[in-house]
Structure 1
Amino acid sequence: MIVVTFGLALTQFISDYRSVTSEGEDRARAYALSMATDVRWYLDVARQVLKRVERQSSELQAAGNTGVVLGDVIDDLPDGVAIVLYDASGVSQQFLAVDADVVDISDRSYFQELKGGADWVVSHLIADRVTGQMTFAVGQALRRGDQFVGAAVAYAPMQVFNKTWLSVGGKDSNAYLVHEDGWLSARLPEVPTAVYDTPLPEDFVAIYFSAETGAYSAGKSPIDGVQRAIGFARVDGAPLVAAIGISTDDMLNSYWAKVLFTLAVLLPISGLLGYAALRNSRLIRRHEQVSADLATSLQRNEILFLEIHHRVKNNLQSVLSLVRLHAKSADPVAEIQPRIQGMVAVHEHIYRTDSYVDVSAPDYINSIAQQIVDASSENVTLQTNIAAVTIPNRSVMPLGQLITEAVINALKYGFPDGRPGAITILLTLDDDRNALLVIHDNGNPLPPTPGTGMGSRLMKAFAAQLNGTVDMVSSDDGVTVEVRFPLPEE
């Protein structure tokens, strides 16, 4: 879900970026059209003023008071524009709206064009010799009949247009006029003069004269290093194209603010969603684990239920067998009672330790042996050294009954009439997992024919259930029972 959310957000960011870029280009195009209209208006006004100057030039020369005669003419032009009248050789004759020394523009290309037959011209961007500022000049030829008698030139410093052209684009915007011959005619904000000393690249100029109007996203400017969206428009009736550039950074400010706001909202939400997803994942895994444990427990309980029935059946059969074996004994109850008590001890240990499958050998053997000794004699001590192994389920009952029978025999024959003594039980395990169980008592030896009594026969039967063997050795030191049987992996 988090990936989908961020994927949708990224898609929206890309769409918004393209939209903002497109809108910025549209804005730049609209501003360029407005600038082209503004330039066209200025050119029209400048030419009208210059034509009026042309008509009045002879009268002005005769009157000798240019300021009074032409005051209303100068007022039609923006503040800061200066007009200079030149004779046919390019030397200044009169200055309007500016005080300056005599200047010579005979070497200027725009004057040479006028002298060469052009009716009017727009110059490249120049540092004019009248004001010393960067300006572009609009020149009007002065003729008497077919004879060229001079020129009237209006000089517009860049500051004149600064407020108008740069106010629309915002911070780091720029505005410029491209002349059809490949030179800049105006450029704001102003830059070092070296930029104006060479023509623009042909492919750059071709973009601006390829259509009446257009817009594109430009790379970083080689002049000031600012990346902009450029809009351009042809100036109607003039060899110029007006262009305005809007800084990409300014254009994308609102976009980046929106991106940051969106991320500021999404990141905490995504963090919460991630935490919720992680928590849900853990809950699901925990639920799956609980379900698996319950299934395992159910299966185990079913097996234990069957095992209980199986043990009950086996125990009843064992009891029945004991009754039959001791039916002819002098005191059958006395013979049967300790053996049944041993079976009880086995079951008591199992349910007290909650070990219904596998049991710990040290706890199990110590428990059942100690219960039998405690119930039969107060003078016999029990010593054990049992390896820390686990007895598998199928071996628990026969092993317990075998130990019960061996301990009962030791108490019955080795320590009659409450004689004191000790019973030692050892259990070891070799590398092949073969177990050796040793039960030794230091009491009386067995009767002359060991191995033929009821206890011996029962121990052999229990050893067989363990897939093992049992040996009994009787001597003056007591009786030793050794049981060898395999003990599978836990």
Structure 2
Amino acid sequence: MVTRVIARSARAAIALIIATLLVFSAIVGSLIYQGFNDAEYRAEASAAAAAKAVQINTGWIVEVATQALRRMDSALGRDIQSYNPSTLSSVRDALEGLPASAKAYIVASDGKTLYSTDPRFVDVDIRDREYFTQPAAGSPFFTSSLLISRQDGSQIFTFSRRLERGGEFIGVAIISFDAALLADLLESLDLGPGSTISILRSDGMLVARHPPPEGPVDLSNYVLFTDHLPRAESGVYMNTSPLDGVQRVVGYRTVPDTDLIALASVGTTHTIGAFWRRVWTFLAIVGPAVLALTLSAVWIIRFLQRDGRRNDELEAALATNTMLFREIHHRVKNNMQSMQSLVRMQNLPEDVKTDIQLRFAAMSAVHEHMYNYDAYATLHAPEFVAAITDTLRTAYGSSARMSLDIDPLSISHDRATPLALLINEVVVNALKHADPERAEAEISISLKSVTNDLAKLVIADNGPGFDVAAGQTGMGSRIIRGMVMQLGGSYNYTFDGGTEFSAEIHLGAIG
């Protein structure tokens, strides 16, 4: 029974530990999943907001560049002159409101630069540049892709306007911007390390980017143009940059009334990477605790299993001891019965043989009770006393009414035989002297708790009584004195309408 309980406890402990680990793992997994989604959402929100900012700034650049080019066209008047200080001043005024890095050029149809606001200007032939060839071919306004300046080697992008007089092409008005102007915008957005902002043309050509690329880039086969722009004019996606191979969350928006797209990308190492660093830090703190919990759980399980095996061994030993215990008492009882048989075979007076047999029967009853009830340390008083008195009444064939009033006390193993012999002797005296032939003959036996293991034994009959003093030297009296002594008590007789034996004795166990 104990082993089964321990086995169930071990299984319950294992189930509880596994359930706890599963619940803990589920909670941690849920928190990580939620945190990852939150990190992605924040990155997407940052990218989308930054793309909006780039869109607004790009639209502003296009608008002020368009107005400046219009003012430059007006400043030339009807006849283009190769150089006129007032015209140059008007061209400079047209750049008001543009970034300081903006430079203006007016180039005639023959490729000659008529006016420039660049103090370090070097006259070069630009007729092979798109920002010249496209207006020359009839485009009224053109935005270039990213260029390498022939003036100083810096990365630039330009806006150009076709100049006409009388319907004839006479030249191109050009405003160039340093691509580095995106650096201040990116810094103000505070997107974190690894982030970028870009301006692209709808044909996939890169107009400007910060951090800057190595040179002009054609992105027409990039996922933005193949997948996202055909579906929506704005959005957010995650992709690896074809320029530097870094994975980023990208927000994009088309710039209204232009052929430009504004991009802002947030590096995942700053957002999602930071999240994973926090996760690993959390796991580094919690992991040892979980490991310790797991090891403790394993130790507890092994302890329970070991304890279960030990209890199996103890139960097996107990079963063996129980069998040996019962066998011993069974054999003692059989030996007592054999001795009773030997007594019956002796040529002795019948009353002597009966007394001896009853004493053996009392001792035999003790061992039979232990044998039948597996009573190792204590015996239950009501059943024990009843077994002794039933044997006596059967042996004497008495018709006397016998009443028992026995408290549910426990009798220690080593006090059982003295108590049995004491009851045997006193009841035998009562049976002898209570005039059992009388129909109203009665013997009462009570055993009541006094304190702790102290109990009061009273055996009374309603017979004529006997002379206690005359029987002080008999075997029965000596046995009574000896058994009371072994039980650590005292006794006395009283005579009042019968004989009453009263003794206070120690039963060796607390009832």
TM-score by length of 1: 0.60
Match of 2:209 in 1: 187
Q: 2:252 aligns with which of 210, 223, 232?
A: 232
**1:203-233 Cα distance to aligned partner (Å, 9 max, x none):** 54234532221111103x3321211111100
Q: 1:140 aligns with which of 152, 157, 161?
A: 161
Match of 1:86 in 2: 107
Deviation, structure 1 residue 144 = 1.9
Q: 2:43 aligns with which of 24, 28, 32?
A: 24
Aligned pairs (5 A) from 1:66-465:
68-165=89-186, 167-168=188-189, 169-193=191-215, 196=217, 198=218, 200-201=220-221, 204-207=224-227, 209-210=229-230, 211-219=232-240, 221-289=241-309, 291-316=311-336
Unpaired stretches in structure 2, ≥5 consecutive residues: 1-19, 348-511
Distance in 2 between residues matched to 1:246 and 1:202, nearest whole Å = 17
Distance in 1 between residues matched to 2:226 and 2:206, nearest whole Å = 14
SS in 2 for 1:250: coil
Match of 1:402 in 2: none
Amino acid at match of 1:85: I
Match of 1:44 in 2: 63
Amino acid at match of 1:106: R
Deviation, structure 1 residue 36 = 0.9
Distance in 2 between residues matched to 1:112 and 1:202, nearest whole Å = 27
Is the 1:114–1:140 contact (alpha carbons within 8 Å) kept by the matching residues of 2?
Answer: yes
Match of 2:33 in 1: 14
Deviation, structure 1 residue 243 = 1.1
Is the 1:100–1:131 contact (alpha carbons within 8 Å) kept by the matching residues of 2?
Answer: no
Distance in 2 between residues matched to 1:27 and 1:225, nearest whole Å = 21
SS in 1 for 2:153: coil
SS in 1 for 2:146: strand
Is the 2:203–2:220 contact (alpha carbons within 8 Å) kept by the matching residues of 1?
Answer: no
Distance in 1 between residues matched to 2:256 and 2:323, nearest whole Å = 100
Match of 2:24 in 1: 5
Is the 1:81–1:160 contact (alpha carbons within 8 Å) kept by the matching residues of 2?
Answer: no
SS in 1 for 2:270: helix
Distance in 2 between residues matched to 1:226 and 1:87, nearest whole Å = 44
Match of 2:434 in 1: none
Query: Which moves more between the two structures, 314-323 or 55-64?
Result: 314-323
Distance in 1 between residues matched to 2:319 and 2:219, nearest whole Å = 93
**1:105-162 Cα distance to aligned partner (Å, 9 max, x none):** 2122221221222221101111133343211110112222422221111111111222
Distance in 2 between residues matched to 1:53 and 1:319, nearest whole Å = 144
Distance in 2 between residues matched to 1:326 and 1:54, nearest whole Å = 156
Distance in 1 between residues matched to 2:235 and 2:27, nearest whole Å = 32
Is the 1:176–1:185 contact (alpha carbons within 8 Å) kept by the matching residues of 2?
Answer: yes
Query: Which moves more between the two structures, 158-167 or 230-239?
Result: 158-167
Distance in 1 between residues matched to 2:224 and 2:290, nearest whole Å = 47
What's the % identity of the aligned pairs?
A: 28
Q: What value does the CA root-mean-square deviation take over the aligned residues?
A: 3.0
Distance 1:212 1:185, change over 3 A: same
Distance in 2 between residues matched to 1:215 and 1:235, nearest whole Å = 16
Distance in 2 between residues matched to 1:178 and 1:70, nearest whole Å = 28
Deviating 4+ runs (over 6 angstroms): 317-327
Distance in 2 between residues matched to 1:60 and 1:79, nearest whole Å = 26
Distance 1:53 1:182, change over 3 A: same
Deviation, structure 1 residue 34 = 1.0
Distance in 1 between residues matched to 2:80 and 2:288, nearest whole Å = 79
Distance 1:203 1:310, change over 3 A: closer
Is the 2:75–2:87 contact (alpha carbons within 8 Å) kept by the matching residues of 1?
Answer: no
Distance in 1 between residues matched to 2:128 and 2:108, nearest whole Å = 14
**1:296-315 Cα distance to aligned partner (Å, 9 max, x none):** 34433432232112331454
Match of 2:73 in 1: 54
Distance in 2 between residues matched to 1:21 and 1:9, nearest whole Å = 18
TM-score by length of 2: 0.57
Distance 1:284 1:182, change over 3 A: same
